[in-house]
Amino acid sequence: MSESKIEELADILQNANIVEFFHKGVYYEIFASADSGYVVNIYSTDKRDAEGELIESNMIDGGLCSESVKDAIGFML
């Protein structure tokens, strides 16, 4: 992913506290943690349940990044 795209996504995350995007065939959901840092979840698809939430059984991986907004974007790329 290009540096300019990472910057663009980091700006969205900074302003909206959440960003979602496809990269290399998987779907990323990154949002501000209630405690500190950012939660990064990776899904096989962007399919959602009846409430509009991403389907947990499609989650491939996830983690917590306690660094900067930009680091959260690159955390699991």
- Give how far Cα 68 sits from Cα of 49, 55, 59, Å: 30, 27, 23
Please report which confidence band the pLDDT of residue 75 belongs to, taking 50, 70 and 90 as the band edges.
Answer: confident
Cβ pair 59, 3 in contact under 8 A: no
pTM over 0.85? The answer is: yes
Q: 26 exposed, middle or buried (CB, 10 Å; 0-12, 13-18, 19+)?
A: middle
**How many Å apart are CA 51 and CA 10, to the nearest integer?**
26
Q: What is the pLDDT of residues 7-17, one digit of tens each?
A: 999 999 999 99
The residue assigned the tokens 């500190």 is 36
Res 35: pLDDT: 85
